[in-house]
Amino acid sequence: MLACAIVVALAGPRAARACSCLPPAPPGDAASRATAVFEGRTFGARREQNELRFAFEVTRVWKGEVPPSIEIVTALQSAACGRAYEFGVPYVVYATARADGTLADNLCSRSRMVVDAVEDLDTLGAGRPPLQEGASAPGPEGPDVEPPRIEPTGGPSSGPSGADDGPTPASPGRRGCIVGALRADAPSGLAFLVLALVLRRRSAFAQRKGL
């Protein structure tokens, strides 16, 4: 009987052991260690296994990319350092990211009601609005400009290589005529021109001889 009483006495304090925390760090140090720091008002909670997920409506942010509404995960039991938030009450929350990317909080953090966060608000400053849905990091200033088009250098009749397929006009001759450059791929035209010159010279020679 005495042995049973001793076992119960030893087991009782272990079952009722509470969360043990060091005093919270000053606001500046706490913010540097946290993943996200924001002010928000709780509007709901749900249980998931051994955790509670509190939903916050975010009013302003001091650190992190925090959307207008966010969930903060905490342990279900206070003995496991789980924190209980009152619904409808604004808090300054110092949250830390877990391995799965969710934000968590516990009794050992500096999170507290806004009415008790005078030192925090003085240190953190005005803050900024939460990240809006679909927002992204701003790019360079100025409107989008279409890149200039690169036109071919050979003119309208240029081929794929940019070379001109048509004849290149020559400068005016002594008699005021413009002589076109002969194409290398037109030997019949050149032969016709030579034959015409030969016949013309023979005709002129015959006229001088009186034939």
Q: What is the mean pLDDT of residues 120-144?
A: 70
Q: Within the chain, what is the greatest distance between any pair of CA atoms? A: 163
Kindly list the domain boundaries of the chain, sorted by start residue. 19-124, 182-211
> Is pLDDT above 50 for 51?
yes
Residue ranges of E strands in the chain:
36-48, 51-63, 69-75, 90-97, 103-104, 112-113
Binned at pLDDT 50, 70 and 90, residue 193 comes out as low
The pTM of the full predicted model, rounded to 2 decimals, is 0.57
Give the pairing type, strands 69-75 and 103-104: parallel
Binned at pLDDT 50, 70 and 90, residue 157 comes out as very low
CA dihedral 54, 50, 31, 60 (to 10 degrees): -10
Q: Are 128 and 42 in contact (CB under 8 A)?
A: no
Q: Does domain 19-124 have CATH number 2.40.50.120?
A: yes
> Is pLDDT above 60 for 197?
yes
